[in-house]
Structure formats: C-alpha cells, structure tokens
C-alpha cells in the first residue's frame, strides 16, 4: 500500500512537472489577464487622433452648408469614435461617408458630409449637449444615434465595474502558492476568473434593461434623451435614426444580449423612430476577430467596415426621407 501511494504521488508530481514544462515552452506568459486588460485599454486612451475645433475625431466643416450638400451627424460613444483604430478613414462614419458619395441617387444632391460625433466614455446626456453645440456649426439633415449596449447602463467604465472585481481576484491570487509558481495552474485560474467576470458583465447589462426600476435608471434616461433628440430634429425638419451596436461576443444562436437588442428596437418602433440593428450583420462571426486586440473589445477595422456596409441602405433611406420633408411631402 505504501509503495502504491508513493508511486501515485510520484506520478502526479511527474505529470505536473511535464505539464508545467509544456506550458512554459508553449505560452509566453507576460502578466495576469486583468493587468493586460488595463494596459491595453490605457494604450487606446493615450493614442493621439486628429480632432476638430469641437474636439471631435473629424475635420472642420464650413459653417454654412454648401448648396447641394446634405449632412449627417453621428452621435455615439467610443465605438463611433473609433477607439483603437489608428486611421480615421477606417472608422465607420468616414467609411459610410465614402460609400454614400460613391452613388448619390437623390436629385439635386451633389455631396454628403458625415460628422463623427463619437465621444469616448460618453452617455446620452453628452449626446444631447453635442447636438445643441453643432446646431449652427453643422446643420445636419440626418442624425444617427449609434447606441452601443453599454450606453443604457451604469457600467460606464473599467474602474466603475471592473476594479472591485479585479481587486478581489488579485487578493485571492496573491494568497495562492500554486498561482504564484505554476504557470499551468495560473492559466487555468485566469480562464476561470475571466469567465466569472464575463458572466457578471452579462448579468449587469441584461438587468440594466430588463431589471427593476433601480437597475434600469440609465436606460430610462437614455430613452428620454433619444426622444429629445428625435423631437428636436423633427422641429428642424431633419430626420433621426437609431442604430443598435451589439456587444461583439458569442455571436451565435445563444447570443446573451439578444433580449437587450430586441428591447431597444421595440422602443424605437413604439416611438416611430427608424431603427436598424447591426446584430444580424455580425451574427455567425468570431467575436475575437472583430476586436482591436484580445484584451480590447472595441471594433477593429474589419468590424467598422461591416458596420458601415450594414448601415448604408438604412442611411440612404433616411436621406431620402429627409428630402421628402424638405420638399413638404
């Protein structure tokens, strides 16, 4: 019995040893995943992008709208801004501008200008403020509200949501001898922790739209602000459209945020606001292939192109609707 137990223990240690050797040889482990996440998110924030006099990621436009020109203002957060995408021309507002100008089928319209009004970390209150600032400067014929699922929640930033969870994980890992010395255990533990955070994030997003009054307070505010934008532009004979930008993860039949996307679309339909969901355009794709990096889920150039292509027919319809309003039809 003693020999059997001794052989079993020895076999376990040998297995762990070889497993550790393989893991260290195959994987280049730099830091725990949560530290990589903070580092790469920080790199996005310090990048320098061209900005106009309004502080937006775009060129300056003429104060008076040229004859034969139609203008589109896109309101949104860092997804619209293009966080993590180096070239301004690869972000969907500029891609959409290029596509719209390649084939203009509206009589009397010679040029279409699109202003990227994306503001990193912003919510709908800031979008209303920006709309007022651009009233005399840009004079949009169409306003596109690009609504990322986070925009109707209190999950405003990494520090708000992630820091308390990360601190708890760090404290537990520091106390673990296995985590400190075994790469194989560290990889497994990191995977488990990431799944835990992903599940908490999923619950938080869903409850922000489908939960009780306290949980849905930001969504209620967002609805009010979207209606405010639509009513304001309607008085100016402009047209407002709503675009739903999904979270780019688990893009399959069991997509965990489908009910949220449906809720936002139902709100638009109920209030007669033209709306378009980008979820079908992304469905079936590998989410990680659409991210700026493995630790940054902002859309990359491929995702921005897909978004622009999906938005093109919807935006063309809005422009035609705006023309009908101009002519009094």
For tokens 């309003």, name the residue.
Answer: 325
d(CA 258, CA 279): 8
Could you tell me the two tokens for 286?
A: 């590998």
Q: What phi and psi, each to the nearest 5 degrees, are found at residue 31?
A: -160, 160
pLDDT, tens digit, for every residue of 65-124? 889 999 999 999 999 999 989 999 999 999 999 999 998 989 989 999 999 999 998 999
CA dihedral angle for residue 163, residue 164, residue 168, residue 170, rounded to 10 degrees: 10
Could you tell me the two tokens for 8?
A: 């079993």
Q: Is the pLDDT of residue 225 over 90?
A: yes
d(CA 124, CA 114): 19
d(CA 193, CA 199): 10
Q: Where is pLDDT greater, at 235 or 13? A: 235
pLDDT, tens digit, for every residue of 13-58? 666 666 666 666 666 655 565 666 666 655 555 567 888 999 999 9
Averaged pLDDT score across all residues of the chain: 86
pLDDT, tens digit, for every residue of 140-150? 999 999 999 99
Query: What is the DSSP track for 71-82?
Result: EEEEEESHHHHT
Other Cβ atoms closer than 10 A to 315:
25
For the chain, what percent of residues have pLDDT higher than 70?
Answer: 80
Q: What is the DSSP letter of 137?
A: T
pLDDT, tens digit, for every residue of 278-305? 999 999 999 999 999 877 889 999 999 9
SS3 of 272-304: CCCEEECHHHHCCCCHHHHEEECCEEEECHHHH
Q: Which residues lie closer than 8 Å to 96 by C-beta, 6 or more apart? A: 72, 74, 114, 308, 311, 312, 315
Query: What is the DSSP track for 46-88?
Result: H------TTS-SS----SSPPTTEEEEEEEESHHHHTTT---G
pLDDT of residue 228: 97
pLDDT of residue 289: 97
Q: Burial-class residue 156 by CB neighbours within 10 Å (0-12, 13-18, 19+).
A: middle
CB 215, CB 208: distance < 8 Å? yes
pTM above threshold 0.75: yes
d(CA 234, CA 326): 11
Could you tell me the two tokens for 211?
A: 């939960």
Distances (CA, A) of 83 to 57, 142, 180, 297, 301: 10, 24, 34, 10, 11
């Amino acid at each position: 019995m003693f020999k059997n137990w001794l052989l079993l223990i020895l076999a376990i240690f040998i297995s762990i040893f070889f497993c550790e050797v393989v893991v260290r040889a195959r994987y280049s482990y730099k830091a725990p995943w949560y530290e990589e996440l903070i580092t790469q998110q920080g790199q996005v924030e310090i990048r320098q992008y061209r900005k106009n006099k309004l502080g937006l990621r775009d060129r300056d436009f003429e104060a008076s709208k040229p004859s034969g020109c139609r203008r589109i203002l896109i309101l949104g957060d860092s997804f619209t801004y293009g966080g993590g995408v180096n070239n301004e021309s690869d972000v969907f507002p500029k891609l959409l501008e290029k596509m719209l100008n390649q084939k203009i089928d509206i009589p009397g319209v010679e040029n279409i200008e699109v202003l990227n009004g994306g503001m990193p970390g912003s919510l709908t209150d800031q979008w209303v403020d920006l709309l007022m600032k651009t009233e005399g400067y840009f004079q949009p014929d169409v306003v596109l509200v690009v609504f990322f699922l986070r925009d109707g929640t209190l999950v405003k930033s990494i520090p708000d949501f992630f820091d308390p969870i990360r601190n708890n994980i760090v404290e537990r890992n520091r106390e673990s001898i296995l985590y400190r010395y075994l790469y194989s255990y560290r990889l497994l533990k990191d995977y488990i922790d990431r799944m835990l955070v992903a599940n908490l994030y999923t619950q938080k997003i869903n409850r922000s739209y489908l939960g009780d009054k306290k949980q849905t307070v930001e969504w209620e505010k967002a609805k009010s602000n979207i209606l405010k934008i639509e009513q304001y532009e309607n008085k100016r004979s402009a047209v407002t459209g709503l675009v739903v930008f999904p979270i780019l993860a688990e893009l399959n039949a069991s997509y965990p945020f489908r009910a949220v996307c449906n809720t936002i679309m139902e709100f638009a339909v109920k209030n007669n606001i033209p709306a378009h969901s980008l979820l079908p355009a992304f469905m079936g794709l590998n989410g990680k292939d659409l991210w700026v990096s493995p630790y940054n889920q902002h859309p990359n150039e491929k995702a921005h192109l897909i978004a622009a292509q999906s938005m093109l027919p919807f935006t063309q319809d809005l422009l035609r609707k705006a023309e009908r309003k101009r002519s009094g039809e």
